[in-house]
Every structure is written in C-alpha cells, then in structure tokens.
C-alpha cells in the first residue's frame, strides 16, 4: 500500500513504540495519583514526559495539561476559557472540533462568528478593519490547515489580535513537530498539541495555557492535571508523547531536504492531468496536496485509488463520512462542482519519488476514465 493519508494519522515511530511497550510491560500496577511507591514512580515518569514535551515547546511544564487528543484540547480551550458572554471568533477553515465547540458557545448566546479567508486559505486582511470587535474576545486560528496545508502567519496575527485586547488560541495539531517553531515564537495564549499527526500514539494530546489564563474543567471528577482534566492519565500514551517530543528536539522528525522537492514535482505532475486543479497554495506545508477533479465524486476517486493500493482521503478524516461539501474549500471560494471531487494526498518523509509517480499515474488513468463516463448522481 502507498499511504498518503498522513494528515489523518501517521504510523507510530518504532522508537516511541518501544518506550510505550516498556511502560506497558512493567510488573507493578501504577496509578500516578497513588501515594505508594509504584504510584510515585508512575508520577515521576508522567512528569518526565511533561518536561520532555515542555522542552520541545520551550514552555514551563506546569502550563501543559495532558488530554485525550486534539479534539478534547480544542474543546477545553474554547469551552473552558471563555466566559459565557465573551465574544468568540474562529477562522472559517477550522477543524470540526473547533467549529462545533464554537457553535455550542454561539447557540448559548455568545457573540462572535467566523473570520473570512482568501482563496489560498489565509486570513483575509480585511479583518484588520474590524479591530474594535475583538476587544475582550477569544480568537481561534488554526496554524496549519488539515485539508489544504495552508500555513497561517500566526505570530503576526496573534500580535495584532493582542493589540485589540483579544486572547488567541491555535489548533496546532498539524503544526507542532512538523514545523520547528516553539510556542513563544508563535505568540499565542493557548495551543493545542497532539501526537499522532507526527509518528506518535493516538489518544493523547495536550493543551498549553499561558500562565494567568484560567480554565474551567470540562470533565468533573478527581484532581488530576491540577484539577483541569479529571480522570486517570493514559500513562503509556503520555510517555510515548514525551518520547516523541524528545526525539523531535534531538533530530526533527519531518526534516528531509528532498521532501519539498519531491512533493513539488508531484504537484506539477498532478497539475498536468487534464481536469485536475491543485488547491493547496504555494507555501503550504509541502506534504499536503489537495486537488479537485471537476464533475467527479471524491468517493469514487478514493475507491478507485484504494483498488490500486493507494490510501488517501477527502477533507478532514473526522468528517469525511458526512458527505457534506468541505467548509474549508467553500470558504476559499472553490466552486461546488470542484469541491465534490476534491481529495487530499498527504505524504510523509518516508514517501518515495517512485511512489508519488505511481500515484500520479493512477490518478491520470482514473480521472480520464471518470471524465469519459456520464455522471449518474
């Protein structure tokens, strides 16, 4: 199989897997909240993982709360920080876990709304004419978009929103570990981090919250995670996330000098196929290539690719089964006839030039065949 769905999840790094297996094979049961020796040892390993993650992000370990992943972190940020009547704004291309949390706030009466983007998925500069609206608001801006790979000028926007008196959260699920930036370099107040987009375990993430910003817990129960996130910690996964952070700090996991060049040639091959348009803008994260095939259905293309041994997806893996047009592409102004034929091909440093060339060849034949046939939907 040629795996081109790395924006959905990545394979687990064997080095991370070994650390997790060692934890799972420990003889004594160990709950980090227990006061006996085994519990204290578990607490020590958990805090070591927090320090490893904090070291990679260049933040204080006490500002990190471990969660079950990006969705929980995004919900905790949007529903746990803002006051009931505090304005909440999100970019129009956010992940569903941000959009649905925001809709809950808005339905409860909070003011705010979606911020427009341009045709490349970048925040529209016209937003800067609306400065007064953002005083006292919480603003959520996705760092790297999961569908088209657009990278926001996050530090610049965070500085501007701060000038207007707003707090800034970023969904960094597709950014942290893939890009070298640390949290201080981004200049945000809250940041969502997850592991499985960069060769770490699923089911674990973190929310970084700048000291002084208060969180109201979503989950009620025990005093874990400084009473911010109740529930016994997923220790093997957390230790895996810590190991991942340490590995990335030592040698960046996505660093590959030839990666951008390979993907650039792949983009050019895809753009040369009759009826195909590359939607990912220049300057997007290079391994994410979103394309549109006008008057074809994405589901049909994906099934045909699967039969050829190619794993790809359409839009967000969390919502691709909904058969609804991509809100990301709609916000970018992509016509509906192209949106319905849009697929996402997301590679990894291990993806070879030969694999990419084979996929381009498969797509050329599939698109030619589909465009010859009349639509029946």
Instruction: Give the CA dihedral 169, 145, 310, 370, nearest 10 degrees.
Output: 140
Instruction: Give the CA dihedral 66, 56, 10, 205, nearest 10 degrees.
Output: 10
Token pair for residue 61? 């370990």
Token pair for residue 22? 């060692």
8 A C-beta contact, residue 81 and residue 167? yes
- Which residues, at least 6 apart from 172, have a Cβ–Cβ distance to it below 8 Å? 143, 144, 186, 191, 192, 193
The Cα 298–Cα 293 span in angstroms is 8
8 A C-beta contact, residue 169 and residue 77? yes
The Cα 2–Cα 8 span in angstroms is 14
The Cα 320–Cα 275 span in angstroms is 22
Among 219, 259, 311, 318, the one annotated catalytic: 318
Can 288 be counted among the known catalytic residues?
A: no
> Burial, 315: exposed, middle or buried (Cβ in 10 Å; 0-12, 13-18, 19+)?
buried
Q: Which residues are the active-site residues?
A: 318
């Amino acid at each position: 199989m040629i795996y081109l769905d790395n924006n959905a999840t990545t394979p687990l790094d064997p080095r991370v897997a070994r650390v997790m297996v060692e934890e799972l094979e420990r003889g004594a049961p160990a709950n980090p909240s227990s006061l006996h020796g085994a519990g204290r040892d578990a607490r020590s390993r958990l805090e070591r993982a927090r320090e490893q993650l904090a070291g990679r992000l260049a933040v204080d370990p006490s500002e990190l709360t471990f969660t079950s992943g990006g969705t929980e972190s995004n919900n905790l940020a949007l529903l746990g920080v803002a006051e009931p009547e505090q304005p909440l704004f999100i970019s129009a291309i956010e992940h569903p876990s941000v959009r649905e949390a925001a809709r809950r706030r808005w339905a409860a009466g909070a003011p705010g709304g979606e911020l427009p983007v341009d045709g490349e998925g970048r925040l529209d500069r016209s937003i800067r004419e609306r400065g007064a609206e953002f005083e006292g608001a919480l603003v959520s801006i996705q760092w790297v978009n999961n569908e088209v790979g657009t990278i926001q000028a996050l530090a610049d926007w965070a500085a501007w929103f701060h000038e207007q008196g707003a707090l800034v959260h970023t969904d960094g699920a597709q950014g942290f570990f893939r890009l070298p930036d640390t949290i201080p370099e981004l200049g945000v107040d809250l940041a969502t981090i997850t592991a499985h987009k960069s060769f770490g375990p699923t089911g674990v993430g973190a929310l970084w919250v700048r000291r002084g910003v208060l969180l109201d817990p979503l989950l009620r129960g025990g005093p874990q995670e400084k009473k911010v996130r109740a529930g016994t910690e997923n220790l093997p996964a957390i230790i895996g996330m810590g190991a991942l952070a340490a590995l990335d700090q030592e040698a960046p996991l996505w660093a590959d000098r030839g990666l951008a060049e390979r993907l650039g040639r792949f983009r050019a091959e895809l753009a040369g196929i009759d009826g195909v348009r590359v939607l990912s803008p220049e300057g997007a994260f290079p391994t994410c290539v979103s394309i549109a095939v006008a008057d074809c259905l994405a589901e049909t293309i994906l099934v045909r690719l699967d039969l050829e041994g190619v794993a790809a997806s359409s839009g967000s893996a969390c919502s691709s089964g909904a058969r609804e047009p991509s809100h990301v592409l709609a916000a970018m102004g992509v016509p509906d006839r192209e949106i319905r034929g849009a697929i996402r091909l997301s590679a990894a440093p291990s993806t070879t030039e030969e694999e990419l060339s084979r996929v381009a060849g498969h797509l050329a034949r599939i698109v030619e065949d589909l465009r010859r046939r009349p639509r029946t939907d």
